[in-house]
A and B are shown apart, each in its own frame.
Chain A
Amino acid sequence: MGIVQAASQPLEAQDSTSEIVNDFSIQVATVNGSGSQTANAVLMRAIFQMGIPVSGKNLFPSNIAGLPTWFTIRANRHGWIARKKEIDLLVAMNAETAREDVAQLQPGAAVIYDQPLKLEAVRSDVHWYPVPFDELVVPVCPQARLRKLVRNMIYVGALARLLDIDLEEVRQALFKQFGERKVKAAELNWGAVQAGHDYAAKNLPKTDPCRVERMSANAGKIIIEGNAACALGAVFAGVTVVAWYPITPSSSVIEAITSYLERFRMDPETGRATFAVVQCEDELASLGTVIGAGWAGARAMTATSGPGISLMAEFTGLGYWAEVPAVIIDVQRVGPSTGMPTRTMQGDLLSTAVLSHGDTKHPMLFPSSMRECFTLTGEAFDLAERFQTPVFVMTDLDLGMNNWMSDPFPYPEEPVQRGKVLSAEDLKRLGGFARYQDVDGDGVGYRTLPGTPHPAAGYFTRGTGHDERARYSEREDDFMNQMDRLSRKFESLRGNVPEPYLDEDADAHLGLICVGTSRYAVEESRDQLRREFSTPTSYLRLRAYPFTAALRDFIRRHERVYVIEQNRDAQLLLLMRLELDPEDIARLRSIRYYGGAPLDARTVTEEIVRQEGR
């Protein structure tokens, strides 16, 4: 059975001359280190303030200054904010890439470009808006050394004019971006915005169809990066020890945590810190510090990316076997090896699930939005302490380092769950305890913290073989008992992880499954499949590993189920194969993308259509 294209039903019938309102993507091609990030953030924020769903994605090099960078903004009145492959408006500021950037455009796209580049000679089927940036910047920025930075604001002004973005919204976005302490810089840049706007008004007659119109989709919403959202999740979960080693794209998790902790977690009476943040010598030491702190009872965490995860393998195994809580945020980037450090991927799923030697299994949580970055990071701390094991929060560069719209975060209503910890009073009552005994039948033993003032509190934690009283043992029955209990613990954990998000269509034969940021492309692809191919689909977005019965049940309700993910080897699907029955596995199909850019909907749709047509 194949999918056939339905009598094409675009969103609305549009002939070539009609306007395209609130549905376009802008790509700004610049050189990194030129201050374009501020200009792009202002542009995105201005569209956001006009109530139009919008996303901004930075495709940047692993470099401080001088290499090509592309920033894409997508505005879409239906809320589709995944990356879109087709560019409607190009801002070509980088002489080095301009010709290639222009060559890749669809006919009918528009280009704002630096006039001396003379791009209009390249092709004739796009709209040209030449702007003499160097001429315009001189009067608004008398200081020559600042011109390189201010010049980018001119395209913001020109775009505002061409797209009908309210200039007052641009002004507000700009002053917010610079903050109260940089009013002078904001004023300088505002001058550049106005210069660009005025130039466009006088010299650039509108010929392309894209423009904005005010909506009210964003009332009450915030804009935040995923790394900052994870940071807030940790801060509001009461994190007390943070150990880390800088690595792109996770460093800003810790930088955000540090600044929020310094603001909100200084003891009001003594002015001293209720937290410790330690920049370690490497990722081994980071997780070692976290394991030590978690063992001693702190809510401890680290944040890293793939190369760091590789280095943490040994300590993760220790945490699993010695049963020590730890929270590890993995902001995934492109591997293997150093890979493409500033590009995104879901490439650590398989290796993290079984990180370290011997039989190990680790829970992973998969946030897909800013709110989930916040809530699932908080939940990771509860799971880690309840189940006394390392818990991984798997985000990615796209989620972590880009700005996203979000509903405000919910204040955590539930008290923090610190797990089974015996106090001196408990020990007085019990007389003693066996650290690794399964007293409650859930596989989770009771622990004590060092410093507990009771003669029976102490026990010896070790990475070597031990019995249930934590004594050294190489006996096969002791070892197998511990391994079996750890399996039982993992099953208990399975009953306590967040359930998947489910959107089922009663008419659908096809199911789609994904995690994390793949959702934006997959959700839009479902819309494309419905409109363009009259193919309804059901949708399951996993939020945790281990998987729950909801996954198996979903698969059984559908003829074919596509597992869509951002890696080469179908890692998510392989994890499912480890747990599912053969007849369920037989229904699974795989769609992978691993080019380093965020997944786009058209890639998913085309691949489903291709595989269904077979």
Chain B
Amino acid sequence: MNLSKLLRRQPAQMDSVLALPTDAAERYYIASQRELIWRKFRKHKIAMLSSVLLGILYLSATFADFIAPYDVTARTSFRYAPGQPIALVGSNYTGLQVYGYKQTNDPKTLRTIFDVDSTKSYPIKFFVKGYEYRLLGLFPTNIHLFGVEGSKATIFLFGTDELGRDLFSRIFAALRVSLFIGLVGVALSFVIGVVLGGISGYFGGIPDIIIQRLIDLILSIPTIPLWLALSASLPAYWPSTTVFFGITLILSLIGWCGVARIVRGKFLELREEDYVTAAIVAGATNRRIIFRHLVPAFASYLIVQLTLSIPQIILGETSLSFLGLGIRSPAVSLGTLLEDAQNIRVVVLYPWLLIPALFLILIVLAFNFLGDGLRDSVDPYKQ
């Protein structure tokens, strides 16, 4: 029996030998690592809140069509209209309702101004019929979470854009793309980064040299030319969904290098530790040493990186959109929504079009707090 196996058995053996005084303490000592992490994580209030928030956002992104009262591309004659406030008590009746608009033309600025008119209101109905869509891309339906009825009634909770499209609906459609791009992108760069970084750091020698120089090469080229060149090389005939994957790939292609370097650095540092030497002496396989001993040792560090990476990819996508290289219409992402907001008229006259930025900030914040909480929870030295 080798040493590492013996050591791992120790807690169980100790349990059988020693009788512990209380139940709670007992559960603590016999809890699995996963359970321990969960216990600590639950105490981290903001992280918990963040994970709930992200859960809700991911869920609503999945059911974006159900939540959205309007189709993403549906135009109305209400162009640049501000959000309609929700009220419980209106001038006509009591109940959940949204106020309507009063429309005036400003001859000086030549724009149509929509003011909220509290004398007009429309009741909010739940599970109403709206546009046709496929739930989860499978089941055709036209039921939506909420909406208003009647041809004149409108419900633009966050207002409308230049073409009179409902911003609320568009944000949820955009979340679908942006949240997903973050996950896929990070997953890709992490798999590549950990594997290559691990090989590089653990084995050293020729593989290390090759991988390190490859990383040097990729990292040495400034991102903007890389982005420009790579997205220019995406074939023009690709449909917008394929372009979306192409862009995810571009973002993760650059992202993995950082991960790999960090993983390598940690490996270099940790492989000098006694317990690794012990494992080697005990005859553990390389794979076992890497995944059983080394990776867990810097998992917390990886998690900090992971949580920083998802929002970075989401932000990266918005930068691509700013440069005109991002997702192409009619697909929407937070980047394309912000691209529409990046001009003086929005800042001066139509500030509600900046709401997507709030969602972006919220998502990035939530990921960061979540990562922070996870980091503290997986910390092996913390009581």
A binds B: no
